[in-house]
Amino acid sequence: MRRNAGARIFAVVAALVVPLVVPLVMPSGASAAGARTAAADPLVSQGRTVTASSVEAAGLEPGKAVDGSTSTRWASAEGVDPQWIRVDLGSPHTVSRVRLTWEAAYARAYRVQISPDGSTWSDVHSTAAGDGATDDLTVSGTGRYVRVYGTQRGTPYGYSLWEMEVYGAPVSGGGTPVQANGQLRVCGIKLCNEHGKQIQLRGMSSHGIQWYGQCLNNASLDALANDWKADVLRISMYIQEGGYETDPRLFTDRVHSLIEMATARGMYAIVDWHMLTHGDPMYNLGRARTFFTEIAQRHNGKRNVLYEIANEPNGDAVTWSVIRDYAHQLIPVIRQHDPDAPILVGTRAWSSLGVSGGGDETEIVDNPVDAANIMYTFHFYAASHGSAYLNTLSRAADRLPIFVTEFGTQSASGDGANDFARSQQYLDLLAQKKISWVNWNFSDDFRTGAVFTPGTCPNGSFTGTDRLKEAGVWVRDRIRTADDF
């Protein structure tokens, strides 16, 4: 039953008249050092799969407690004890902190529990003196599942959480790409992991999140990480064409959420400033400053974020000097907040290293961006871009740090017949030269370049090959081959 605000406030006040005060006891292993570790660990629960013992009504489902919004919530059935909410972290994690933001219907007595399998539970925190508001708990435990188990309501109603946030890190040996490689950096002309080893990342780009955001959900990203075994997700946020400029707050929040979802699955996240029309990056420089300032401020503690600052500069007036000047103005904005993450710089003529505009890599070699820890992007579509592009890429990779942030097996429109023979030539070169790559695109768009058949999103199935187009089967097979980390 729904209750009105007045009744809820009365109930909460009544419940607080005679509070039971019990000293807070730190969980086993908690200490000042533990608190510092907890503060440093990333959020690993946002966007994960959640279940609960009950739901009060439509719109109050358990997923609302891990969506990153303090205006949506989970609520249990009213008047019943016990009740619980459980989040699946996707793989074993060491958990150092749990933050619970209660709605008015809070728990007087509850336990925070952790489990390796969802059936055997160990307490990492318990209290009989809950008073609502926010409980920010330093805990110590290891498992895949975290549960809040309420045994005594603080009001006559049920239990309700605006947010349930779990912080921690994948267990050593868990094998996620981020765990294996840590903070990436550019060493010489290669992408290297935190141990100095040259590596190649392979993964998928979203389609524009203004059109195909429904293809990026818990089930699809679980499949991308665990079934496809992808290392990286490129989050493609268009600026025009119904994207960022129409609602900066909405699209910035979508990118925040997708970064958290990639992080929770141990994948790298490329934040793609997908400028296309207008093709001059300077046109959106002010917007880019605002957007990347917030993204870098929020995520500078993560090890898995890369910034792609100009998707495909294009147009006769957009020379390499224009792009270089743009990079010189925007890179310091990011570096002010995130000094460590690699930054990916678009190249002339639709990120073709200038080839589509009659040039080649020498314009960059002769006048590189004056900044450290950067790479230059190259895009290709195998049915449109033949030996001139392939040969330019091969030469450039011997003189410049290159990242292929977008490619397709079709024509440059993302549609038409697949040229798998030419595509394989490119991928063989990329493997030989340790160049990371991302395929376009992880959606169910009707074009042949979208990996899923129309109608797959949002419900799937996303695992296996039943809902994949021909290009989807081809690229999934190549992402799934063993990484050399």
Among 260, 291, 254, 261, CA closest to 273: 291
Task: With beta carbons less than 8 A apart as the criterion, state whether 213 and 250 touch.
Answer: no
Q: State how far the Cα of 192 lies from the Cα of 399, in Å rounded to an integer.
A: 16
Token digits for 110?
A: 């509850």
Which residue bears the tokens 């959640």?
Answer: 50
Token digits for 472?
A: 């989807």
Distance from first CA to last CA of the chain, Å, rounded? 54
Beta bridge mates, 86:
51, 147
Which residue bears the tokens 């490119």?
Answer: 426
Token digits for 162?
A: 């605006």
Residue 56 catalytic?
A: no
Residue 165 catalytic?
A: no
Q: Dihedral of CA 251/254/258/259: which sign? A: positive
Q: State how far the Cα of 455 lies from the Cα of 468, in Å rounded to an integer.
A: 11
Among 110, 60, 101, 58, CA closest to 81: 110
Neighbouring residues of 393: CB distance < 8 A, sequence distance ≥ 6: 353, 378, 380, 402, 426, 429, 435
Q: State how far the Cα of 440 lies from the Cα of 426, in Å rounded to an integer.
A: 15
Task: With beta carbons less than 8 A apart as the criterion, state whether 104 and 159 touch.
Answer: no
Beta bridge mates, 94:
142, 169
Q: Which of 308, 312, 361, 363 is catalytic?
A: 312
Q: State how far the Cα of 310 lies from the Cα of 102, in Å rounded to an integer.
A: 41
Q: Which of 56, 78, 308, 406 is catalytic?
A: 406
Task: With beta carbons less than 8 A apart as the criterion, state whether 450 and 166 touch.
Answer: no
Give SS3 for 158: coil
* Active site members: 312, 406
